[in-house]
Amino acid sequence: MTITHPVGLDPTQRAVRLLGGDLTETALRLHLDGLSGVDAVGLEQRAADLSTRSIKTTSKAWALDTIIRTCDLTTLEGADTPGKVRSLVAKAITPDASDPTTPSVAAVCVYGDMVHDAVTALGRHHAAGGSEGIQVAAVATAFPSGRASLAIKLADTREAVAAGADEIDMVIDRGAFLSGRYGVVFDQIVAVREACTRANGSAAHLKVILETGELQTYDNVKRASWLAILAGADFIKTSTGKVSPAATLPVTLLMLEVIRDWHRLTGEKIGMKPAGGIRSSKDAVRYLVTVAETVGEEWLTPQLWRFGASSLVNDVLLQRQKMRTGHYSGPDYVTVD
Amino acid sequence: MAFLEYAAAPESTSILNLKSQYGLFIDGEFVDGHGDVFETISPATEEVIARIAQATPGDVDVAVAAARRAYDRVWSRMSGSDRGKYLFRIARLVQERARELAVAESLDNGKPIRETRDVDVPLVAAWFFYYAGWADKLEHAGVGPNPRSLGVAAQVIPWNFPLLMLAWKIAPALAAGNTVVIKPAETTSLTAMLFAEILQQADLPAGVVNIVTGPGATGQALVTHDDVNKVAFTGSTGVGRMIARQVAGTHKRLTLELGGKAANIVFDDAPMDQAIEGIVNGIFFNQGHVCCAGSRLLVQENVHDEVVDRLKARLSTLRMGNPLDKNTDIGAINSAAQLERIRTLSDTGEGEGAERWTADCRIPDKGFWFAPTIFTKVSAAHAIAREEIFGPVLSVLTFRTPAEAITKANNTPYGLSAGIWTEKGSRMLALVDQLKAGVVWANTFNRFDPASPFGGYKESGYGREGGRHGLTAYLEASGWDAPAEATSTPKKTRKAAAK
């Protein structure tokens, strides 16, 4: 069954179309609880099987470049300063000064109050709503806990968008989700999506962070993924990086399966972003394999796939240098930021 | 080049140190056979790997005599803990030479290196470790105090898991105190020869394990030999039936692990993505060359279309080709004869009106290949729903209620295994009680563990392998006042037995 609908249909209307009838708390609950369950052992086994793929030579070279191209280079610290953001931006533009063939990353990801500094530092490299150049992603909605009133979350979002953010990484209200108030979570995502709209009618892309480490069960992750997509997420994202465990391969696989099912149902392509905890090239390549074998390799573009990471890029650069020169260098041959 | 066409990642064969010709392994030494020599080929390339000696009835006689000597003089007198030491040593050597064994098995059998490396060889080691632990605890095996070993065991094994089946047979036999003459399948003798080298490395007393290679006639000479006490066979029901007739009326004990036509039952509340994986693993693991394969998919009618759609999408991502490439999911069919049988049965299925769908795989020019195939619109009366195909071919049937699922699942002359996919625990347990199958997997399939007994109902054979049950097939009860097992260890055991 494929549900056809006009592109850009309001998420609420789209959800009504999919669920039928009125969009009530009960209807949402019936829909989400009706999703088929997830067998944890089987899911983890499948993720482990995908991890055994052996990616060598030309495939490895392509994979390493794709990791960089789809990376959201991130700094989300209380200690962030304009200076730290400037140096992050420099790294984003030129990840490896010793090799000009190294691609730039997809985006820099910062707190809302740092958006202005990131935009300024990027200058002509800033994508500014286009697909060329580097995007500025801002975490919003009282990141990472999400414990604030809706008014504050919306103000947080609007401010970041006004300052020039191209992408908003919002967090869902995990408390509401875990207590079964799916309607609250849905409405908040819809409201934040509206707050992403700019004065000229264009809108910042919305990534919805589920914080899977707090949702705990795979069944919850599956329901939350559907809920976020129903409510209009452009991307679904695993984690804030502030809660352990952050991204894991089984969780990412499960979310990709939801994205695949949504695509089967509607023809719509939703993006995916695992964030936190992915530090080595080897690990990151496993994620690429999982994407390619679950939703298809057309997902491996910055429009549909991102890594949220800070230290991953340097390990990829070391691997890239090794492939180029034939020998390993060391951490002093890549820049700290 | 698309990313998904992963660059070649072949496991190197340079780790192998194969001889061009292998003899029989009798009384601790490699000896020439007196029969013709036959070639063992790689089913993926049809290239000759090595030449193998064929054992004549005379050679079998020598092997059985060696096993009898080793039994009388060494192995039956050795303490359980000392037998255990040898088994532990074998297990560790298998682990040390794991990569070599995996490469050799893939080369000779055609199965993907991913499976030999991650399933076959680790399980071989696990089997020896597990039964090593039993060797000095036989009084807890469940056959009463001071159980006795049987004597010389004649074992005949199939080509689908050559080394693993060898381990399933040898490990419990030795732990229980028996000696062994084993015959590997004609097309897959190679890893048994490497295993013989491991036995030499382990300094196992001569004659405790003897390996005779050759065709069915060699096996027949072995199982009909007067001086064997126990016959264990894994293979087709046809041959099993013949062996049962030959052994009938003799003193020999017999266990048979034969064919299957397992039902894999998927309810509408199944964890869908994991069920799809389980179906794929159930029938396409090892090219479907698995006696317990889930070759009959029973799907609840209301999710039939969804399951079949998802299954086709998933099968389209399977990678068929060079078994030694680390990214290969589906390897080669083991022999031209088996390929012919799969083709014939598949054509029959089409002729009977079932709808055939085959994954779009590029078939290599050389070797024996059969792309993953699904038959829908299959009814219980079709041959492909009843006969064991032993290949990558899945027959899909439907059911409406749990009662109908049970009836259809049990409606087969076989009864080796079954699978259930549901999120509802109570239904799972109720079904397990009513399925006539030796192994029932719930929300998983094709999982093996040395501690878990394995075996069949009806025409799938009798006796159990694995676990405590597997041990009892190699033991007999003794009286309560029977003397305890000997505890002294003969010195220089190999030499002693050789003399």
Structure tokens at B224: 């009909």
* Nearest chain A Cα distance for residue B371, angstroms: 19
The residue behind tokens 């059985």 is B64
Cβ contact (<8 Å) for B277 and A45?
yes
Cβ contact (<8 Å) for A293 and B327?
no
Q: Which of A2, A35, A36, A66 is the best mutation test for B, with the most CBs of B within 10 A?
A: A36
- For residue A38, which residues of chain B lie inside 8 Å, CB to CB? 271, 273-274
d(CA B282, CA B298): 13
Cβ contact (<8 Å) for B272 and A36?
yes
pLDDT per residue as tens digits for the range B25-56:
999 999 999 999 999 999 999 999 999 999 99
Cβ contact (<8 Å) for A39 and B317?
no
pLDDT of residue A64: 98
pLDDT of residue A7: 47
Q: What does the domain layout of chain B look like in residue ranges?
A: 21-258+456-491, 263-442
pLDDT of residue B478: 85
pLDDT of residue B226: 97
Listed in sequence order, the residues at least 6 apart from B184 whose beta carbon sits closer than 8 Å to its beta carbon are B157, B159, B162, B166, B192, B211, B213
Whether chain B has a CB inside 8 Å of the CB on A244: the answer is no
CA quadruple B166, B167, B168, B174: dihedral sign: positive
Smallest Cβ–Cβ distance between A58 and the set B7, B118, B271 belongs to: B7
Q: Which of B1, B4, B5, B6 is the best mutation test for A, with the most CBs of A within 10 A?
A: B6
d(CA B395, CA B376): 6
d(CA A152, CA B6): 48
Residue A202 φ/ψ, nearest 5 degrees: -75, 170
Range name among A23-32, A180-189, B197-206 with the lowest pLDDT average: A23-32
Structure tokens at A165: 């953010």
**pLDDT of A218 above 80:** yes
Q: Which helix or strand (DSSP H or E) is residue B219 part of?
A: helix B216-223
- For residue A59, which residues of chain B lie inside 8 Å, CB to CB? 1, 3, 5-7
The pLDDT-based confidence of A129 (bands split at 50, 70, 90) is confident
For A118-126, what is the mean pLDDT?
97
Cβ contact (<8 Å) for A36 and B269?
yes
Whether chain A has a CB inside 8 Å of the CB on B302: the answer is no
Portion 12-51 of A in contact with B at CB < 8 A: 36-39, 41-43, 45-46
Smallest Cβ–Cβ distance between B9 and the set A54, A66, A288 belongs to: A54
**Catalytic annotation present for B465:** no
Taken in order of first residue, the domains within chain A and their CATH numbers are 11-324 (3.20.20.70)
Residue A170 φ/ψ, nearest 5 degrees: -95, 160
Cβ contact (<8 Å) for A36 and B7?
no
Q: Which DSSP symbol is given to B29? A: E
pLDDT of residue A9: 63
**pLDDT of A45 above 60:** yes
The pLDDT-based confidence of B396 (bands split at 50, 70, 90) is very high
In A, minimum Cα distance to B313 occurs at A294
d(CA A200, CA A206): 17
**Catalytic annotation present for B292:** no
More confident residue, B483 or B284: B284
Q: Hey, is A199 helix, strand or coil?
A: coil
pLDDT per residue as tens digits for the range B456-475:
999 999 999 999 999 999 99
In B, minimum Cα distance to A253 occurs at B273
pLDDT per residue as tens digits for the range B401-459:
999 999 999 999 999 999 999 999 999 999 999 999 999 999 999 999 999 999 999 99
In B, minimum Cα distance to A1 occurs at B306
**pLDDT of A53 above 50:** yes
pLDDT of residue B309: 97
d(CA B182, CA B450): 20
Q: Hey, is B452 helix, strand or coil?
A: coil
Whether chain A has a CB inside 8 Å of the CB on B271: the answer is yes
The pLDDT-based confidence of A22 (bands split at 50, 70, 90) is confident
Listed in sequence order, the residues at least 6 apart from A197 whose beta carbon sits closer than 8 Å to its beta carbon are A161, A203
Which residue among the candidates B105, B186, B257, B485 is catalytic per the annotation?
Answer: B257
Residue A92 φ/ψ, nearest 5 degrees: -65, -40
**pLDDT of A3 above 50:** no
Query: Is the CATH number 3.40.309.10 carried by domain B263-442?
Result: yes
* Nearest chain B Cα distance for residue A248, angstroms: 18
pLDDT per residue as tens digits for the range B194-253:
999 999 999 999 999 999 999 999 999 999 999 999 999 999 999 999 999 999 999 999
Whether chain A has a CB inside 8 Å of the CB on B449: the answer is no
For B308-331, what is the mean pLDDT?
97
Long-range contacts of B429-436 (CB under 8 A, 24+ apart): B430/B402, B431/B265, B431/B402, B431/B405, B431/B406, B434/B406, B434/B410, B435/B263, B435/B406, B435/B409, B435/B410, B436/B410
Per the CB < 8 A criterion, the answer to whether A106 and A127 are in contact is no
* Nearest chain A Cα distance for residue B306, angstroms: 10
For A239-244, what is the mean pLDDT?
96
Measuring CA to CA, which residue among B332, B336, B314 is closest to residue B323?
A: B332
Angle A237-B311-A288 from CA coordinates, rounded to 5°: 35
pLDDT of residue B409: 97
pLDDT per residue as tens digits for the range B106-158:
999 999 999 999 999 999 999 999 999 999 999 999 998 889 999 999 999 99
pLDDT of residue A24: 85
The residue behind tokens 């097939």 is B473
Cβ contact (<8 Å) for B3 and A59?
yes
More confident residue, A20 or A107: A107
Cβ contact (<8 Å) for A297 and B2?
yes
CATH architecture of B21-258+456-491: 3-Layer(aba) Sandwich (3.40)
The pLDDT-based confidence of B1 (bands split at 50, 70, 90) is low
Mean model confidence pLDDT for chain B? 95
Cβ contact (<8 Å) for A297 and B3?
yes
The reply to whether omega before A144 is within 30° of 0 (cis) is yes
Whether chain B has a CB inside 8 Å of the CB on A7: the answer is no
pLDDT of residue B276: 98
pLDDT of residue B481: 54
**pLDDT of B485 above 80:** no
pLDDT per residue as tens digits for the range B349-390:
999 999 999 999 999 999 999 999 999 999 999 999 999 999
Measuring CA to CA, which residue among B388, B454, B439, B393 is closest to residue B164?
A: B454
Q: b or e along A194-228 (b: 16 or more beta carbons within 10 Å of the residue's beta carbon)? A: bbbeeeeeebbbbbbbbbbbbbeebbbbbbbbbbb
Measuring CA to CA, which residue among B244, B185, B194 is closest to residue B216?
A: B185
d(CA A103, CA A92): 9
Q: Hey, is B265 helix, strand or coil?
A: strand
Structure tokens at B261: 């036509």
Cβ contact (<8 Å) for B327 and A54?
yes
Measuring CA to CA, which residue among A146, A118, A152 is closest to residue A133?
A: A118
The pLDDT-based confidence of A12 (bands split at 50, 70, 90) is confident
The pLDDT-based confidence of A303 (bands split at 50, 70, 90) is very high
Structure tokens at B327: 């990214």
In A, minimum Cα distance to B5 occurs at A59
Length of chain A: 337
pLDDT of residue A18: 78
d(CA B113, CA B419): 26
More confident residue, B382 or A336: B382
The reply to whether omega before A245 is within 30° of 0 (cis) is yes
